Structure 1
Amino acid sequence: MGTPGEGLGRCSHALIRGVPESLGSGEGSGAGLPALDLAKAQREHGVLGGKLRQRLGLQLLELPPEESLPLGPLLGDTAVIQGDTALITRPWSPARRPEVDGVRKALQDLGLRIVEMGDESATLDGTDVLFTGREFFVGLSKWTNHRGAEIVADTFRAMAVLTDHPYASLTLPDDTAADCLFLRPGLPGASPFLLHRGGGDLPNSQEALQKLTDVTLVPVSCSELEKVGAGLSSLCLVLSTRPHS
């Protein structure tokens, strides 16, 4: 989302994908997903998009829902973006690999440089990757293997720090970091924003967040989509189409 220094994290666009009916039934593509309240999931997703656009001032791009891709709204899993480069991931589940196609096209249309993962032995989940401005933390998991982490390092020519623990534990307690997005929309004189799961979703996170006095906190809920493994970091991709310093 930026390069070390003044431009770190400054964003101009957010990309999301609509919630399909197949996610509500839990039957799409034979995914065996838990059934959820579709109307509530769509409502929460709409609120997220509204806050990205209206509260944070980002240009919002929404891909249409696809019934054959029940987990398509978790598009943060499909790419790792830093600066003007987007690494298109290779999801661990073959059923999820078609999700990258629409994301790739959208990022190409925005002018990003697209890098593909050509190694079929590699798997990578975008939300297993955290860029600090100096290095990448890559969580090795069921979804991301060592070869996938190596490709992150090779793509961005940076140090990749591998960890067997979720990167959430590196920043906030109670595994809440995956449910936060730190954004600098690039507005002159504006403090950065921290988009986070509100107290109704994660009450144990509030004490930690309240210690952050130099950011504007923007609460949002995704309690229904959480049932299928969604955190805020997986529900959107944020990026900049502006030149990076």
Structure 2
Amino acid sequence: MADTWNFPEFKRAVVREVSDNVNLAQRSPISTEDIDLEKCRVEWELYVQTLRDLGLEVIVLPQDPELPDCQFVEDPCVVIGDTALITRPACGPRQGEVTKMEETMRNLGLKVHVVESDTATIEGGDIIFTGKEIFCGDSVLSNEEGFAILEETFPDYPCHSIFVEYPEFHLKGYMALAAPGVMAVCDNEWGHPGWEDVCNASNYTYKPLWMPDDFGNNCMFINGTIIHPPESQKPDTYAIYQKYLADYNLIPMTTEEVSKIDAALTCQSVLF
């Protein structure tokens, strides 16, 4: 299946340490619980070690107390093939994150494109690459100008804009690639219209896995392994992964602390 979908085999991951000031990170108004910094760092270490155990070379960037969201490297950088797009996050305080990501991608030898416009916004949390095409959330954090830059940066793949209704921030907040040709989609008021938009836009047929828990969709497919929410955190969703994706190597992983600021698994790494 992976070969049919031309889905990449990942060899590297870029991650960034948890900021001393992660509790000042961007979050929705209803997410008010404080992160336990020590527990968050323990969870992050487990996440990083898991990537290493899967055979990836993990490049670890230092934390920055001036950048509370710096752990969430998915948003300031998108990599497909040998090309990196250094994005322009919508929230001003996050725009400082792009400097280190650009430096890192250049040092790793990737072809680097940088969003230069001061009106375009685009974040990696809005972008799903399936191996055949790219879906990009039209959200409060990624706009039409950002979408156009995404298209220009990756001309070999069709790009489709998918509307993301507020208060959802990112497309990956309710949809993610669970496996080649398989989408994990939240069974909620955002997931259903989003899935309809995907089906209408694409020339390919994807299988949906409907997830009963919010953020239960957020998973990572890495070279035949699926990292997904654990039973302790999302019991109903966990059962769906175990039932329908049992042919893959499954690794449950908690995001209990970062979930307090609306973050999850994909947010914490850039894979290529």
Q: How does 1:1-245 map onto structure 2 within 5 Å?
A: 8-24=7-23, 26=24, 35-54=34-53, 56-157=54-155, 158-165=157-164, 166-167=171-172, 168=175, 169=185, 170=195, 171-174=208-211, 175-176=214-215, 179-184=218-223, 192-210=224-242, 211-239=244-272
* C-alpha distance in structure 1 between counterparts of 2:120 and 2:251, whole Å: 36
* Cα deviation code 1:68-87 (max 9, x no counterpart): 00110011111111000000
The answer to whether the 8 A contact 1:194-1:218 is kept is yes
SS of residue matched to 1:199: coil
Please state how far the C-alpha of 1:228 moved relative to its aligned partner.
1.5
RMSD: 2.3
Deviates more, 1:58-67 or 1:209-218: 209-218
1:33–1:9 CA distance, 2 compared to 1 (3 A): farther
The answer to whether the 8 A contact 1:150-1:160 is kept is no
Please state how far the C-alpha of 1:177 moved relative to its aligned partner.
6.5
Deviates more, 1:206-215 or 1:229-238: 206-215
* Cα deviation code 1:162-188 (max 9, x no counterpart): 11143503444335475211111xxxx
The structure with higher relative contact order (CA 8 Å, sep 6+) is: 1
Matched-pair identity in % = 28
* C-alpha distance in structure 1 between counterparts of 2:131 and 2:159, whole Å: 12
1:22–1:33 CA distance, 2 compared to 1 (3 A): farther
The answer to whether the 8 A contact 1:178-1:231 is kept is no
